[in-house]
Amino acid sequence: MLAKPFHRHCIFLLGLVLAAGLCAWAQRVKVDPEQRYLLLATKKTSTMEKELAEVAAQGFRILVGSPTSGTEMALLMERVATPPEIYTYRVLATSHTGTMQKELNEAAAQGFRLLPRTMIAKQTAFVGLEIVVILEKPPRIEKRYDYKLLATTLTSTLQKEITQSLAEGYQIAGMVSRGEHMVIMEKGSAAR
């Protein structure tokens, strides 16, 4: 007879613990309305993307990103927008350069643009060293971009590929290294 009330009590307590955890997460990135700068740091790119969405909705925009340790990344943000004029973000992370170029161009087709000051190499438990980049979409899209990712360990090869890409109308957007050098080239066009 005691098992059923005890069971209901345990379920109720578990529900309270889960609800408290979700509430704590939701409140973790809420900031004072007068706060101008905010530092976000996490090891998981999925967590970073969720937190970016929450603080962007509060008017924050990325200033710069950096690795803080081998496995963590940090973003320094500044409040610059008034909702609903907010920026949206997409976090891309991969250890495969072909995948990164494909995902860059898919996001660019939706109006996102690479933030070169967020390109980092980050250590992960499962895939080793991966490249993480963040793309930003402004409230109004005036220009679209196309990306080309160049990656090699040979500097002479990279120099030739950069020269060829420049001749095709691309500009250097950023560079990051992880045993090989990766340069992301960007070409802009009018919004479609």
pLDDT-above-90 percentage for the chain:
43
Residue 48 lies in a domain: yes
CA-based max dimension of the chain: 81
Cβ burial of 156 (10 Å; 0-12, 13-18, 19+) is exposed
Residue 166 lies in a domain: yes
What's the confidence (pLDDT) of residue 18? 33
Calculate ∠ Cα 22-24-30, nearest 5°: 115
List of E strands, the chain? 37-42, 60-67, 73-79, 88-94, 113-114, 120-124, 128-137, 143-152, 171-177, 181-190
Residue 10's H or E segment, with its range, is helix 3-28
Residue 41 lies in a domain: yes
What's the confidence (pLDDT) of residue 192? 60
What's the confidence (pLDDT) of residue 29? 62
What's the confidence (pLDDT) of residue 191? 66
Which residue has 């402004």 as its token pair?
138
Residue, of 34 and 162, whose pLDDT is higher = 162
Least confident piece of the model among 54-58, 60-64, 125-129 = 125-129
Q: Which residues contact 136 (CB under 8 A, 6 or more apart)?
A: 61, 62, 87, 88, 89, 112, 113, 115
Give the structural domain span for 37.
32-190
Q: How far apart are CA 131 and CA 80, in angstroms?
A: 27
pLDDT of 5 higher than 50: no
pLDDT of 190 higher than 80: no
Q: Which residues contact 94 (CB under 8 A, 6 or more apart)?
A: 100, 103, 130, 131
Residue, of 179 and 14, whose pLDDT is higher = 179
pTM: 0.77
Residue 86 lies in a domain: yes
> Per the structure, how many domains does the chain have?
1
pLDDT of 11 higher than 50: no
pLDDT band at residue 62, thresholds of 50, 70 and 90?
A: very high
- Cis omega (within 30 of 0) for bond into 33: no
Residue 70 lies in a domain: yes
Residue 24 lies in a domain: no
Residue, of 154 and 121, whose pLDDT is higher = 154
What is the phi-psi region of residue 111: left when phi exceeds 0, alpha when psi lies from -120 to 50, beta otherwise? left
Pull the structure tokens for residue 180: 């090989």
Residue 96 lies in a domain: yes
Residue, of 168 and 70, whose pLDDT is higher = 168
Residue 177 lies in a domain: yes
| Per-residue pLDDT tens over the stretch 76-106 | 999 986 777 789 999 998 878 888 999 999 9
Residue, of 16 and 51, whose pLDDT is higher = 51
pLDDT-above-70 percentage for the chain:
80
Residue, of 88 and 122, whose pLDDT is higher = 88
